[in-house]
Amino acid sequence: MEKIHKVKYTYNKLHNLVKKMANEIDDQGTKIDIVIAIATGGWIPARILRTFLSHNGKFPKPLYSIGIINYDSDDNLLDHPTIVQDLPDSIEFKNKNVLLVDEVADSGGTFVKAQNYINKLSPKSLITAVIHLKDKSKFKPDFIGEKAGNNWIVYPWDVKE
């Protein structure tokens, strides 16, 4: 069995990975109208992406979150990802390009759950971005900060020490 290592990331390293993704999104000409974070891990990267993504208007892109859990409070993988917070009904998805963001695609189940949920709302397009993609993920996001093998990623916002 492969040994899993815990890898701690600094905020600056993550900030730069997210900035790189924003540049790639803009360089490809991908138009984004709405940013949605998968809560809770996607909140910080989604907020940073929103800062760096270009926009033509007076205001930055709207930012919302959908709450999905895939692990219990002891970091044990659940049988199925579970939606614990829906998106507001007031969001208009028709003719909108949506960017869905999370910090890590581990098994990929959370992204699949969120993608299915958002696609039912009929956006014009759904683009996905993740800071870290693990080898075992069944979901491959459109934009990736970096590949993480199968290491356990410790984010600065999750440190309990």
Q: What is the pLDDT of residues 76-103, one digit of tens each?
A: 888 899 999 999 999 999 999 999 999 9
Is 105 within 8 Å of 129 (Cβ atoms)?
Answer: no
Q: How confident is the prediction for the chain on average, in pLDDT? A: 92
pLDDT value at residue 78: 85
pLDDT value at residue 55: 81
Statement: the pTM of the whole predicted model exceeds 0.75? yes
| Radius of gyration, alpha carbons of the chain | 15
Whether 160 shows a pLDDT value over 90: the answer reads no
pLDDT value at residue 1: 58
Question: How would DSSP label each residue in 124-147?
Answer: SEEEEEEEEE-TT-S---SEEEEE
3-state secondary structure of 94: coil
Q: What is the pLDDT of residues 7-59, one digit of tens each?
A: 999 999 999 999 999 999 999 998 999 999 999 899 999 999 999 998 877 77
CA–CA distances in Å: residue 71 to residues 31, 33, 114, 124: 32, 30, 15, 31
Categorise residue 15: left if φ over 0, alpha if ψ from -120 to 50, beta otherwise.
Answer: alpha
Instruction: Name the burial class of residue 89, with classes exposed (0-12), middle (13-18) and buried (19+) by CB atoms within 10 angstroms of its CB.
Output: exposed
Per-residue pLDDT averaged across 118-134, rounded?
A: 97
DSSP for residue 154: E
Whether 120 shows a pLDDT value over 70: the answer reads yes
Whether 3 shows a pLDDT value over 80: the answer reads no
Domain 6-158 bears CATH identifier 3.40.640.10: no
